[in-house]
Amino acid sequence: MRATATVLVALSLVAAGCGHRSSAAEERTILIVVDAPFSQSPYIGNTIGNGAQLAADQLNAQGISVGGAHYRVRILRLDNALSPSRAVADTRRALREHAAAIVTDGTGVDASWRLANAQHVPLAITYQGGLGLVNPQTRPNVFRIAPTDHGLAFRLAEYLVPKRLKIAMLTDDSDYGQAGKTALTDAFRTVPKSISARITLPSTASDLAPQVLEARRSGATALLVWARAAVLAKTIVAARSAGWGVPVYTTPAGEDPFVRQQLADHRSWVNGLTFASGRMTAELGPAPWATFEAAYEAAFGTTNVGVKSGGRPVIAPPDYAMYSYDFVNLLGAAVRSASGTDPPKVLAALNQVSTHGANGDERGFNERNHEGVVDDDVYFARFRDMVFRPVRDDPLSSTLPVINQVR
């Protein structure tokens, strides 16, 4: 009996030892967890993951040596499947594995930031722009490098109102659409007469003709659509198939390859679609972006849209990848500044350091501002023959170069 007990205890200890981790080498690894919707929105998930991986590879190539210790950056991709509870579980795993930071699209941040904050682990949002996700006072470990809903909505208002258009505001019933509705309502509050109708688009409807007809009857001379890519495509189909050539304005959903794929049989319907997004180039010119894009394509290849322009394949520029790329670089700078990976020190350093972003912009945070993309960085681009170029009737956009999108 005693022998059996001894064996059981020994086995338990061996089993427990299997899961133990203590080597000094592991402490020199900077683990960054990318928690993104790889299964539900692969385009977004992979864009975020690839951006972070590219920065990690470059940092590793350069080497991070602080205080005689050498660090390697490792990226761990976890799929949150757009589920807040999965995001919480992923955050717990990241903390168990002593991650130095978590890069996320924004799913589940309301719940997971407390867990990360308890261990002083920074959480970087690189896609969602929702109001309230970032607040340096109440959520000191949450940062964002992505255009905010507030910024997109106010820039859209700033761009559209002077055109004296009667705008039908179409938002879908997803969380994305509802968050956009809130932001747009706020942005257009002072100019209510420019809004001819506020219509909710059912995400699951196969035909949006009734909603588009309602917008048309309201006397609208422009459609402002804040919806997921699939709903945006259906909205354009409904308008154009009814012979209505109304201009359509939208959010970064407009540059999602899905929209062009859906409209591939009616290429002309894409023409004129205008979207707001974070700019890919800054005052320094297109060189930084070109360098980033070339490195990205060398590492991961191009993201083919699946349509052609002028007989050549169209690719999607990795613009959202630059946000996760920039954050990983900022974290590297923070580790150097903190002389190590002590979480409180790294978190504090993130409020101090800055780097040059993929688009040449200065990226950095401070104690009062955890937004990495300022509202003024939102630009507008318009499609022509399946590729987009910055508009010329907006002061910021008109200064931006055209990014090559064919290969």
Instruction: List interacting residues with other proteins (CB under 8 A).
Output: 12, 15-21, 38-39, 42, 79, 81-86, 88-89, 92-93, 96, 107-111, 114-115, 130, 173-176, 178-179
Q: Which of 119, 115, 125 is nearest to 52 (CA)?
A: 125
Complex with other proteins: residue 38 or 380, whichever CB lies closer = 38
Complex with other proteins: residue 84 or 247, whichever CB lies closer = 84
We find the least distance from the C-beta atom of residue 42 to other proteins, in angstroms, to be 8
Structure tokens at 230: 């699939």
We find the least distance from the C-beta atom of residue 128 to other proteins, in angstroms, to be 8
| Identity of the amino acid at 194 | S
Contact 270, 383 (CB under 8 A): yes
Complex with other proteins: residue 85 or 398, whichever CB lies closer = 85
We find the least distance from the C-beta atom of residue 198 to other proteins, in angstroms, to be 17
Complex with other proteins: residue 36 or 358, whichever CB lies closer = 36
Neighbours of 58 (CB within 10 A): 17
Residues in the chain, total:
407
We find the least distance from the C-beta atom of residue 11 to other proteins, in angstroms, to be 8
Complex with other proteins: residue 86 or 260, whichever CB lies closer = 86
Complex with other proteins: residue 124 or 280, whichever CB lies closer = 124
In terms of DSSP H, where are the helices of 19-148? 24-27, 42-62, 84-96, 109-118
DSSP type of residue 192? G
Which residues make beta-bridge pairs with 36? 79
| Identity of the amino acid at 300 | F
* Spatial separation of the C-alpha atoms in residues 336 and 384, rounded to whole Å: 45
We find the least distance from the C-beta atom of residue 121 to other proteins, in angstroms, to be 16
Complex with other proteins: residue 66 or 89, whichever CB lies closer = 89
We find the least distance from the C-beta atom of residue 395 to other proteins, in angstroms, to be 34
**CA 99 to chain centroid:** 21
Distances (CA, A) of 138 to 190, 349, 365: 29, 18, 15
Contact 29, 56 (CB under 8 A): no
We find the least distance from the C-beta atom of residue 19 to other proteins, in angstroms, to be 2
